[in-house]
Structures are given as C-alpha cells and as structure tokens.
Chain A
Amino acid sequence: MKRYLFPGVVLVLAYPLLAAGYPVWERLGALVLLAAIGASAWNIVGGYAGQVSVGHAVFFGFGAYSAVVVYTHLGWPPIAGAPIGMLLSVAVAAVIGVPTLRLSGHYFSMATIAVAELVRVLSSTSEFLGGAQGLTGPAMPRTVFDLSFLSATPFYYIFLAVLAFLLGLTWWIERGRMGFYLRAIKDSERAARSLGVSAGRYKLYAYMLSGAFTSLAGSLYLCMFGFVDPESGFGILISVKMVVMAALGGAGQLFGPLVGALILVPLEELSNSYLGGRGAGLTFVVYGAIIVIIARFLPSGLLSLFERRSAKPAAKSEIASGHAD
C-alpha cells in the first residue's frame, strides 16, 4: 500500500486544479471527501470494534441540526454549531451506547436502527427543529464564517483537512493500546474479556468518538448544503450509506471508507447530474448490482485485493488479513 501513498497525496491535493471550471467535478470531489469523513468515523466503531451500527444517522443528524439551530435560533454562523453537535453526540452516544452495546451482532444493528428511527420521528414532530419541513441555513453569506462559497473548492480543502485529521487520529488509535483492544473485541469479545480487556468501556469509547466525528460530518454537510430535514439528517439511508461505503472499501482498514466513497459517490452523483429522471432508476440498478457483485466476490472489501497480493510473498501482514470472522 505504501508506494501508492505519495502519488495519492499529490493527486488529492491537486484535484481541484484539475477539476477547476467544471462545477460538477468540483462538487464531486468535495462530496467524496464528506462521505469519506462520515464513513471513516463509522469505521472506528463499526470496522475496528466490529459493532455494526446501522443508526449512525443519529449523530449525523445531531451535527446537521446543531449547525442550523445555532443559526436559526441564535444567529450564529452554522459552523459554530459543529463543536456543540460533537459534544451533544458524545453525550447521546453514551446514552444510546450503554444499553445497546450490551447486545451482540444483529441485535445491536437492529437496536441502532430503532433508535435512529425514533429520533427521526421525534425530530419531525419538533417545532424547534422545523418539523417535517426541516430548517434552512443562511441564504446570503453575512461573514466569511458562514462558509458560503461560489465554488465547492473551499469545501474540498476544509473536508480534506478534517478527513486527514480523522484518518491521522484513527491511525494513531489503530497502532496503540486501544486499537489492539478493539480488534480483540471484534475477534472474540469473550476472549478479550477473559484477558482483562474491559470490553464494554472500550466499545463505548469507540462509539462516542465515532459519534463525535459523524456529527462533525453532519455539521459540514449543513454548511455546504444549507438545509436539513428529518430524512436527510436522520434517515436510515444516511446510516446505511456509511456502512456500505466502509464495507465496500474494507471495514476496519484505514483507507477502506475512503475507497468506498471514491466508488459510490461518483456513481451516484454523476448519474444524478447526467441522467436524472427515469434514467436515474437504471443507474441505481447498476449501483445495486455492483454492490452485490463486490459483496459476493470480495466479502472483505476492495482493499482485500491489494492485501492478498502484498501479503503473499512474505506473509507479513497477519493481523491485517486475519479477520475472516
């Protein structure tokens, strides 16, 4: 993987220059990074710790609504709501996580779906959150802090900085004590417990951290789109997309979610902007088929392709390839 890193970084930094003048492509770059932030945040608890949450839209929605609420009710720039959303999400993660993380496997997934749906329905009945119509951010930029730009390029670099920070943090966790604990819990919670890992506590830490960054993704989403309603904030599709992107690239791997986003977001966006209408139906048929085919032939995600190849000669990465649970 390492030899792809340098050209990859150069390409990522220079992408807006290549896309300059083509709004569709400028936007696409920013959207890929935004989706990658959400999916990478999910990856901490869903990939590394193996706790497959299908309700991360709760945090995404909290982030998006925090950003728009500070604007609507206080007149602050939306981005000021981001730290508030992150703090709230950590608290919410604790409230949700303590009961649900006791559940295992599919039960945890189902519980997180139910909680997210509960929050979605509640949000659509709340006057404060604009009910089913949702809330709209600033229509005209007042200061530069409103983050309202003509092109998507500034967002691209903001998202890139956030993603780089998040991936750096994940990398640091992965190599440290917590990373080993999380992988141990994923492989066998009972074994991890018997070796003295306080599994409950570390799952909760991972869940809270994951929730905080998912919330940040939500706030950034609001800054770019300026609008959120219960469906685009808390909808099940938001949660499922994070799972699918991470799983497609390779869950529990640093760059897995980014790879997933690189494939799924362009597929979705380009079909929307170039086809639209009835054509969009057909492209989503292809989209679904591609996901099915990858799940069928590469159940551990696309990155497992590279891993297998690089692991063969020296059999060096035993940890990385040994999670066929």
Chain B
Amino acid sequence: MTLVQVIVSGLLLGAVYALFSSGLTLIWGMMNVVNFAHGDFVMLGMYTAVVIWTALGGGPFAAVPAAAIVIATLGVLSYFLLVRHIMRGPMLAQILGTFGLALFLRYAAFWTFGADFKTLPDTLIGGSFTLGGIRFEGSRVLAGVGGLLITLLLHLILTRTSVGSRMLAVSEDATAAQLMGIRPQRMQALAWAMAGAATGIAGALIATFFYTSPTVGETLAILAFVTVSFGGFGSVLGALVAGLIIGVVESLSAYLIGPVYKDVVVYVLFVLVLWFRPQGLMGKA
C-alpha cells in the first residue's frame, strides 16, 4: 500500500508541476521565447497569495483569484514593455532581458518582504484524511486537483476554442494571421495574460504547502524548464504528461533509492528523453 501512496502523492505533486510549467510552455510555443523570469512569476504568485491570505485576511477564495489577476497583469506588462521588443532579436537578448527581469522581481520581493521564509496558516485546508488506506494531505490534494483541472482547462481553451485557434495561427505565422484579420500583438498579449493567470494560480496553490521566499523561484524555474523541454515546447498537454511523470518519478526514486537522488533520477531521465526525442514527448519535430 505504501507504494500506491507514493505514486498518488507523486501524481498530486506532478499536477502542480504541470500547472506552473504550462505558462512557460504556452509562451515558448506561442512566440519562441523562454521566460527566464518564469520562476519569479510563480514566486510573486505565492507572495500575492500569502499577503491576501494572511495580512489582508482574504482566505483562499480571495487569494487564488488575486494571484491570477496580479500575475496576469505582470505578464501583460512584461509583454508590452519588454518581450515585444526583444522577441525578434537574438536569443541572447531574450535570455538577457528575461533574466534581468528575474533579478529585478526577485530582489524587489526581497526588499519588500525580507529574506525569511513565510508559510500559510493551515486552517481551512490543513489536516489529512484517509481514503482506501491512502493518506491524503488536504493542501496537497487541493493543489494537485486544482493544478490538473486548470492545466486541462488551459489545454481545452488552446485547442477547442476560436481564441485558441487564433493564438495558434499567430504562433504559426504572424503575418498570415494578420492578413486573416487577427491582431498578433493582441493574441500574444492574451497569451501572456493566460500564462500569467495560470502561473499565479500555481503560485497560490504551491504556497499552501511550500515555504515562500524570494529565491524560491530559482528552484521552481529549473523544474519548469525541465518539465517543458521534457513535454515538448508549446504543448500544454505535453507539460501535463511530463509534469505527472516527473512527479511520480521523483516520489518513487525518493522512496526506493533515497531523497537525495530524486533530482538525479529526474535529470538523467530528462537527458535521456532529449537524446532519443529532442523535441520532447509531445513536441512537433
């Protein structure tokens, strides 16, 4: 039964990985930009949740939408002020610009909130329950299920709605899309808003079971990069599958080999995937 327990908690964790990676993959696929500040977007989502939840007494139902709105706004601002101008430049300009943004956001958070770790009070969603012999922690179930649902929702919006088709058109050929009456900039800004909202929600969900600090984004960013390259760039479904696989592999290897080696196994797996399928699991060649 413990093995099932390990796999279930891996899946719940993986769903959160999927959610906070889906914003990155959306931007990457939509305009071939890797946002090095992505981890810090998550971090700010976490802080937004913490502030709304504790300082302003909003509780989780205010914290999650607030994080979504704040990070979506941040995404749109980043797009108009920075990304729009550097996306056609050399790839290095993208790294330079988004990494500068990452530093800016990270130390702005450091300056505002201080370096100490913050955690949310576990009142509403704290505690755990047992179902079929498996123990569930409330906050992790909420985060996992929320992550799964929102990632799926994002996937459906991109593949099943007309807005999604328009965004796809812009990502494939912005000029042709423009000739068809689609405004590329509006679609790209929308992509940043959607990615930001997903990222903000991911941050709020992670904040329920993880410590919040200004540097937490670095760890999360690396995980997101791995998840996205693993799943295939631009594919939200790929990020979902990759996130779940990584979550399970992490939990299993922590359980079977030892907690120190869980990252080793994940990175080795990632390098193997790149070797045999450079475009990732669901990416197009």
Residues of chain A touching chain B, judged by Cβ–Cβ distance below 8 Å, are 46, 52, 54, 99-100, 102-103, 105-107, 109-111, 113-115, 117-118, 121-122, 124-125, 236-237, 240, 243-244, 246-248, 251, 278, 280-285, 287-296, 299-300, 323-325
Pairs A–B under 8 Å by Cβ, sample size 11 = A100-B274, A103-B274, A110-B34, A284-B106, A288-B104, A288-B107, A292-B101, A293-B100, A295-B82, A296-B82, A300-B89
Name which residue of chain B comes closest to A241, CB basis. B99
Are B271 and A99 touching (Cβ within 8 A)?
Answer: yes
Task: Knowing A110-B225, A236-B218, A278-B111, say if A324 contacts B102 (CB, 8 Å).
Answer: no
Tell me the complex Cα distance, A252–B24, Å: 28
- Closest Cβ of chain A: how far from B222's Cβ, in Å? 6
A114: chain B residues within 8 A (beta carbon): 225-226, 229, 267, 270-271, 274
A99: chain B residues within 8 A (beta carbon): 271, 274-275
User: How would you classify the secondary structure of chain A's contact residues: helix, strand, loop or mixed?
Assistant: helix
Question: Is B278 on the interface with A (CB-CB < 8 A)?
Answer: yes
Kindly count the residue-residue contacts between A and B in the assembled complex, taking CB atoms under 8 Å apart.
160
A115: chain B residues within 8 A (beta carbon): 267, 271
Q: Which of B90-98, B136-144, B200-208 contacts A (4 or more CB under 8 A)?
A: B90-98
- Closest Cβ of chain B: how far from A53's Cβ, in Å? 11
Question: Is B180 on the interface with A (CB-CB < 8 A)?
Answer: no
Are B260 and A125 touching (Cβ within 8 A)?
Answer: yes
Name which residue of chain B comes closest to A251, CB basis. B92
Are B104 and A289 touching (Cβ within 8 A)?
Answer: yes
- Considering the complex, which residues of chain B in the window 93-133 have a beta carbon less than 8 Å from any beta carbon of chain A? 93-97, 99-108, 110-111, 114
Task: Knowing A106-B34, A291-B100, say if A299 contacts B90 (CB, 8 Å).
Answer: yes
B100: chain A residues within 8 A (beta carbon): 244, 288-295
Tell me the complex Cα distance, A99–B106, Å: 34
Task: Knowing A107-B278, A118-B268, say if A52 contacts B104 (CB, 8 Å).
Answer: no
- Closest Cβ of chain A: how far from B233's Cβ, in Å? 7
B255: chain A residues within 8 A (beta carbon): none
Tell me the complex Cα distance, A295–B36, Å: 13
Tell me the complex Cα distance, A174–B72, Å: 45
Name which residue of chain A comes closest to B101, CB basis. A292
A102: chain B residues within 8 A (beta carbon): 278
Are A292 and B264 touching (Cβ within 8 A)?
Answer: no
Are B110 and A299 touching (Cβ within 8 A)?
Answer: no
Are B89 and A299 touching (Cβ within 8 A)?
Answer: yes
Task: Knowing A111-B229, A324-B90, say if A284 contacts B110 (CB, 8 Å).
Answer: yes
Tell me the complex Cα distance, A292–B275, Å: 34
Tell me the complex Cα distance, A177–B229, Å: 34
Task: Knowing A296-B85, A296-B86, A299-B86, say if A117 contacts B97 (CB, 8 Å).
Answer: no
Are A285 and B271 touching (Cβ within 8 A)?
Answer: no
Bits for B15-40, please: 1 = Cβ < 8 Å to A, else 0. Answer: 00000000000001000101010000
Are B274 and A107 touching (Cβ within 8 A)?
Answer: yes
Are B99 and A125 touching (Cβ within 8 A)?
Answer: no
Contact pick for A288, options B101, B114, B226, CB 8 Å: B101
Residues of chain B touching chain A, judged by Cβ–Cβ distance below 8 Å, are 28, 32, 34, 36, 81-82, 85-86, 89-97, 99-108, 110-111, 114, 218, 222, 225-226, 228-229, 233, 260-261, 263-264, 267-268, 270-271, 274-275, 278-279
Task: Knowing A111-B229, A114-B270, say if A291 contacts B99 (CB, 8 Å).
Answer: yes
Are A109 and B34 touching (Cβ within 8 A)?
Answer: yes
Known contacts A106-B34, A121-B263, A121-B264, then 14 further A-B pairs from the complex at CB < 8 Å, ordered by chain A residue: A52-B91, A103-B274, A107-B229, A111-B229, A113-B225, A113-B226, A117-B263, A121-B267, A246-B92, A289-B104, A291-B97, A292-B82, A295-B94, A295-B97
Tell me the complex Cα distance, A124–B97, Å: 31
B111: chain A residues within 8 A (beta carbon): 278, 281-282, 285
B91: chain A residues within 8 A (beta carbon): 52, 105-106, 109
Name which residue of chain B comes closest to A132, CB basis. B260
Are A282 and B107 touching (Cβ within 8 A)?
Answer: yes
Tell me the complex Cα distance, A325–B93, Å: 11
B28: chain A residues within 8 A (beta carbon): 106
A46: chain B residues within 8 A (beta carbon): 92
Are A52 and B95 touching (Cβ within 8 A)?
Answer: yes
- Closest Cβ of chain A: how far from B182's Cβ, in Å? 25
Tell me the complex Cα distance, A112–B62, Å: 40
B261: chain A residues within 8 A (beta carbon): 125
Are A236 and B222 touching (Cβ within 8 A)?
Answer: yes
Name which residue of chain A comes closest to B112, CB basis. A281
Tell me the complex Cα distance, A178–B103, Å: 36
Interface centre among B222, B264, B267, B271 (most CB of A within 10 A): B267
Tell me the complex Cα distance, A247–B110, Å: 26
Tell me the complex Cα distance, A320–B281, Å: 39
- Closest Cβ of chain B: how far from A90's Cβ, in Å? 20
Are A299 and B274 touching (Cβ within 8 A)?
Answer: no
Name which residue of chain B comes closest to A237, CB basis. B218
